[in-house]
Amino acid sequence: MRIAFFAALMLFCELVHAGYDLHITRKAHWADADGPTISIVEWREYVKRDSQVARDSNNTELDFVVSIPGESFPIWFDPKRGELVTKNPSERAVVKLIEIAKALRARVQGDDGELYPSERQDQSLKPSAANASSRLSHFLKTSPPNSH
């Protein structure tokens, strides 16, 4: 009985920490090894101009907090990929990510490669955090055990 309980607890903990990332990138696909990148210098210059973005003093120099009306969310600079990343953003956060991406001459792309907003959405921003959650649920259901 204890083994079953701990196995269920471990699965639950893994699901709690799992999420769907959105990337601000200049690459054709965020995971591409090669392609145009955002430099830390460009990102720091942007942060100086945007009062809604600040370095997260509780974490590393690559961690930032975006504060928009009604919420705050983390965003990380990934120097290896030359991109910015956040996890499970709300629809309002996606709007802010798109604003940041435009200023950086980049775009917002989900883990599965979809762009925000998509051309079909005509700026309606329907691929929200709920859609990202459904993508994650599908991934977890279709992935073999221990593949994520």
Q: Does any domain span residue 92?
A: yes
What's the pLDDT tens digit per position in 101-132?
999 999 999 999 999 986 554 444 444 455 55
Q: Does any domain span residue 86?
A: yes
Contact of 88 with 132, CB cutoff 8 Å = yes
pTM of the model: 0.71
Count up the domains in the chain and report the number.
1
What's the pLDDT tens digit per position in 31-61?
999 999 999 999 999 999 999 999 999 999 9
User: What whole-number distance in Å separates Cα of residue 142 and Cα of residue 129?
Assistant: 20
Residue 64 belongs to what domain range?
A: 19-121
Q: Does any domain span residue 9?
A: no
Nearest residue to 21 via CA among 87, 98, 91, 89 = 87
Q: Does any domain span residue 96?
A: yes
Q: Does any domain span residue 135?
A: no
